[in-house]
Amino acid sequence: MSHHGKAGNGWRDKADKFRAQVEAAQIREAGLRELLAIERAEVRTLKGYVEKRDAAIRLYEDGNAVLKQRVADLERVYAEALSRPPFARWKLPDERWGDNLHMRVGPKGPGGLSPHVHVNRYPLDYPEEHMRGLVGELWIELDDSERHLVGGGFADAAATFVSVALQRGAPLEELAWKLVGLRGGIGGPVWQRADEPPAIGYEEELKLEKLYIPDPDVSRCTSVLDAIGKKLLVRYCSHDPFGPRVPTPDNDSSTEETEHV
């Protein structure tokens, strides 16, 4: 074999060897790239775990702070309750604020009742914090000509008992439910005075038709006290007196049923 032939074979061998080395390097590079991609994915996963862990820790710390605050509030209320004398009565101040509820019970004309119900509240700056803004007094005002239609001073006595119970911490909702369903005196449809009373000069029947419109809170009642109890539930307890009553430990529906009109 000539000298040139041997030299050409040597260069080809070197080229093949170099090509094999390049291919092996490329394979190693591809493997390293794949490993790098896997490591990056694992890093991202670990970062997600860390972020979730940090979020869970923050949530736990926030919830723990809220729980501690609630416990502190309960301990404060409990301490205040222990410091109060037993059977304490928190009377309203001489200057009172509240709502005046006007209604008409029974017929619009003769034979009906027009009670004015005064619902007085504790002032927002009352010394006892737990009583601020709560209803503390119920006062029923009736004309002298109408008092005999509800049993004389029965309405006054009921309002007094409710007021004393409220000032001793009794819940308004429970007291209002005790009024619902009471019978005695005049009952029937419940009306309220129209926003724009009719002008003078109407005939009496037409004037009464225009003067009163159906009450939006209470449609019917069995008595004045029943209407007042339902009105208190709707206005101050956000409760539907015509729907089913939710049983409570002190009021079990299996032992006591209240008639709803």
Q: What is the pLDDT of residue 122?
A: 92
CB-based contact 226:242 (threshold 8 Å): no
Q: Which of 98, 136, 144 is nearest to 118 (CA)?
A: 98
What is the token pair recorded at 205?
């029947």
Partner residues linked to 135 by β-bridges: 121
What is the rounded distance in angstroms from the CA atom of residue 15 to the CA atom of residue 255?
104
What is the rounded distance in angstroms from the CA atom of residue 31 to the CA atom of residue 26?
9
Q: Residue ranges of the chain with pLDDT lower than 50?
A: 202-203, 243-261
- Interval 144-195: pLDDT, tens: 777 776 655 778 888 888 999 999 888 898 899 988 888 877 888 888 887 6
Q: What is the pLDDT of residue 152?
A: 56
Contacts of 207 (CB under 8 A, 6+ apart): 198
Torsion angle, CA of 146/151/157/163, rounded to 10 degrees? Answer: -60
CB-based contact 139:120 (threshold 8 Å): yes
What is the token pair recorded at 239?
């409760």
Q: Which of 252, 167, 181 is nearest to 222 (CA)?
A: 181
Please give the distance of CA 137 from its chain centroid, rounded to a whole number: 23
What burial letters (b/e) apply to 35-69, b meaning 16+ CB within 10 Å? eeeeeeeeeeeeeeeeeeeeeeeeeeeeeeeeeee
Q: What is the pLDDT of residue 209?
A: 63
Other Cβ atoms less than 10 A from the Cβ of 215: the count is 23
Q: What is the pLDDT of residue 254?
A: 37
Please give the distance of CA 29 from its chain centroid, rounded to a whole number: 66
Structural domain boundaries of the chain? 1-83, 97-236
Sign of CA pseudo-dihedral 8, 9, 15, 19: positive
Q: What is the pLDDT of residue 8?
A: 57
What is the rounded distance in angstroms from the CA atom of residue 177 to the CA atom of residue 193?
25
Compute the chain's Rg from CA coordinates: 41
Q: What is the pLDDT of residue 197?
A: 52
